[in-house]
């Protein structure tokens, strides 16, 4: 019986206080992960909206909000380390704690990539729009949808949904490769597009990396529920190795 089931079962029964306390701590840890996921999901939605609407004020709010994601990751890390040290969990309880640590790390990175999309959006907004930006929202919204689905899979411990997310990462990779080639074409046609297109390339790469971290979370959910790693080869678009570096942009 897992911690959630045990916690539900102790309501009308007399049981060991230590076990009930540990179960409650595990539930609290999972709830903090869910809270971090909700914040990251909101941050990503705002970053996509800022990109689509060319809204620099909203983009700045996304950048400022990233600190909250970082704080939640630290809270999860501290709680998980304390539980590992004091409770010495095994089997499923250990997997719950390890999964919380791994998912928190992936959520923090998704938050970072969302903030970097927002930073570059503010720079791109200083120039006239490039034609290719019409394709960018499609890719960004797909990443947003995948993140939402994988977080729902974690809440529901839904392996099938997690596997579906795992397979959809290839869609983002294919859009990324197509958009990259389109932007290169625009730069060759008109050198005045080089600066804006370069920033758009980095935005696209950040969005692609968001998809990768959502895939990481899907793999962690599979491990959490099944007790073994997902052994299939991770899906990747044909042009994945063709991508440029992420290139994070500091605020100046």
Q: Quick check: 62 pLDDT over 90?
A: yes
What tens digit of pLDDT does each residue of 143-165 get? 999 999 999 999 999 999 999 99
Domain borders along the chain are 3-242
Quote the tokens at residue 96.
């719950």
Q: Residue 88 gets which letter from DSSP?
A: -
DSSP letters, 187-220, are HHH-GGGHHHHHHHHHHHHHHHHHHHHHHHHHHH
Least confident of 24-28, 146-150, 226-230, 243-247: 243-247
pLDDT band at 249 (very low <50, low <70, confident <90, very high): low
Say how many C-beta atoms besides its own lie within 10 A of residue 38's C-beta.
15
Predicted structure pTM score: 0.83
Q: What mean pLDDT comes out for the span 207-214? A: 96
**How far is 143 from 18, CA to CA, in rounded Å?**
41
Cβ-proximal residues to 184 (8 Å cutoff; 6+ apart), any chain = 197
What tens digit of pLDDT does each residue of 230-242 get? 876 566 654 444 3
**How far is 124 from 118, CA to CA, in rounded Å?**
10
For the chain, what is the largest distance between any 2 Cα atoms, rounded to a whole number of angstroms? 75
**How far is 49 from 41, CA to CA, in rounded Å?**
12
Residue 244: per-residue pLDDT: 37
pLDDT band at 6 (very low <50, low <70, confident <90, very high): very low
**How far is 33 from 154, CA to CA, in rounded Å?**
9
Residue 204: per-residue pLDDT: 94
Calculate the average pLDDT of the chain. Answer: 85
- Is 197 within 8 Å of 132 (Cβ atoms)? yes
Whether domain 3-242 has CATH 3.40.1160.10: no
**How far is 31 from 8, CA to CA, in rounded Å?**
15
- Is 133 within 8 Å of 182 (Cβ atoms)? no
**How far is 47 from 52, CA to CA, in rounded Å?**
9
Residue 214: per-residue pLDDT: 97
CA angle at residue 234 from 232 to 238, to 5 degrees?
130
Least confident of 13-17, 101-105, 193-197: 13-17
Q: How many residues does the chain have?
A: 252
Angle at which helix 194-226 crosses helix 136-156, to 10 degrees, equals: 20
Exposed, middle or buried by CB within 10 Å (0-12, 13-18, 19+), for 30?
A: buried
Residue 193: per-residue pLDDT: 87
């Amino acid at each position: 019986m897992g911690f959630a089931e045990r916690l539900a079962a102790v309501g009308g029964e007399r049981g060991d206080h230590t076990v009930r306390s540990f179960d409650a701590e595990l539930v609290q840890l999972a709830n903090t992960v869910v809270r971090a996921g909700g914040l990251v999901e909101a941050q990503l939605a705002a970053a996509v909206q800022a990109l689509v609407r060319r809204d620099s004020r909203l983009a700045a709010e996304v950048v400022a909000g990233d600190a909250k994601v970082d704080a939640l990751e630290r809270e999860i890390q501290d709680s998980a380390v304390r539980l590992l040290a004091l409770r010495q969990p095994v089997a499923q309880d250990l997997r719950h704690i390890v999964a919380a640590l791994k998912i928190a790390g992936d959520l923090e990175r998704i938050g970072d990539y969302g903030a970097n999309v927002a930073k570059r959006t503010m720079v791109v907004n200083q120039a006239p729009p490039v034609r290719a930006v019409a394709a960018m929202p499609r890719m960004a919204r797909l990443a947003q949808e995948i993140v939402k689905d994988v977080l729902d899979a974690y809440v529901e411990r839904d392996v099938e949904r997690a596997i579906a997310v795992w397979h959809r990462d290839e869609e983002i990779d294919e859009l990324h490769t197509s958009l990259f080639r389109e932007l290169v074409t625009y730069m060759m046609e008109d050198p005045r597009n080089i600066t804006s297109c370069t920033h758009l390339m980095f935005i696209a790469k950040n969005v692609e990396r968001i998809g990768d971290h959502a895939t990481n979370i899907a793999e962690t959910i599979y491990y959490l529920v099944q007790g073994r790693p997902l052994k299939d080869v991770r899906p990747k678009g044909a042009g994945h190795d063709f991508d440029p570096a992420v290139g994070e942009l500091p605020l100046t």
